[in-house]
Amino acid sequence: MSRRAAGPRTVLAALALALAAGACTPQPGDAADRPAPSAATPLPAAAGTPRGTLLTADFGSDTVSFVDPERGTVASVVVGRAPYGLAVGADGRAWVATAEGVAVVDTHTRRRTALIPHRTATGPVTGGEYRGGGMGIALSPDGTRAYTGVNVPGTTGVLEVLDTAAYQVTDVVPVGRRPFDVDVAPDGSEVYVTGHDSFDVTVVAAGSLQPRRIEVAPYGTAGGLGSWLKPHYTVVRPADGMLLLPFEGERLAVVDPHTGRTTVEPMTADTHQHGATAAPDGRLVVVGTGAVRPGDGKGPSLTVRSPDGAERVYPLDGPHEDVAVSPDGRTAYVTGGYTREGHWNGISVVDLGTGAVRRLPAGTRPLGIAVL
């Protein structure tokens, strides 16, 4: 499954100094001791949540928003500081990675039911691109485990494993720096953690929890923390379980998670790329944020890549971060939050057949997204 739904999530050298913030003691307390706040705009539980509603992690407002794909936001629920990624299980529970811990939201009643603190010390609870806390998140295929990539400013990150029945962190595994994304093998046997600032994917065996690092750096690692040419999001290819990591609209790294071997295929968008997902028919859908420097690449776009490598590139207006695709594969929903400057409060709705784009106001700096 992907980070977006169960059964489916670059810095300049000067900015890298922000990673030096020290860690402090973890937050105490059990999730049950923390009262769940009411929805900011609650609806009666009987109203339910229609299928096809979008759920966004609002990095700029400490909420998740329920978004009608035609009308915009219909409800928002406070979840915790600076929510980043989210994953939704078949039971309707959403698991949201925040700076404070993992929030659990009942998407039927639109209420937060728990906030599970991180076991790992991540420093002060703050917002901003380099804040400590949860980033990528995914669920095991059977829904019994949630896997959260936790950023620890100034050092390597960790993968925290949550028992979804007990609502507690059971294990902590070392991974790479700033774990933008977490994905799970279709059979649940492995977890894949994309380390943005360490140029790698950490493969974690779900049984033993033993980590194994694979460097993914088709441009090399020159520039270190100041390099733009790093991995962001990973897609597990449905056909064969290979890991797909797009770079700069120029190169697609195809990684065999078992051997660590990487091959590189050409891409055509020529733009700095972030979010990615697989459409139901196996197409790869990738968000382009624009040129990293003026004149060095093309503007924001959405790439739709067929299994045979053919690509269609649709222009977008302004930077975006992440993407989800409708169950029928006809529509992509691209969040305008963006982890860097230039974010906006909404979603671009893209017709994958025609490339027609319309903007839908939604949330406050939305990053992660799922289709309920």
Contact yes or no for 69/52 (Cβ under 8 A): yes
Rounded to whole angstroms, how far apart are CA atoms 190 and 341? 34
**DSSP E strands, 294-336:** 301-305, 311-315, 323-325, 331-335
| pLDDT tens digits, 142-164 | 999 999 999 999 999 999 999 99
| pLDDT tens digits, 28-76 | 333 333 333 333 344 444 457 999 999 999 999 999 999 999 999 999 9
DSSP state of 184: E
| pLDDT tens digits, 199-210 | 999 999 999 999
Please tell me the predicted confidence (pLDDT) of residue 47. Answer: 56
Assessment of whether the complete model's pTM goes beyond 0.85: yes
Rounded to whole angstroms, how far apart are CA atoms 287 and 269? 10
Q: How far is CA 370 from the centre of its chain?
A: 10
Give residue limits of the domains in the chain.
Answer: 15-371
Q: Where is average pLDDT lowest: 25-39, 92-106, 281-295?
A: 25-39
Rounded to whole angstroms, how far apart are CA atoms 251 and 245? 9
Q: What CATH architecture applies to the domain 15-371? A: 7 Propeller (2.130)
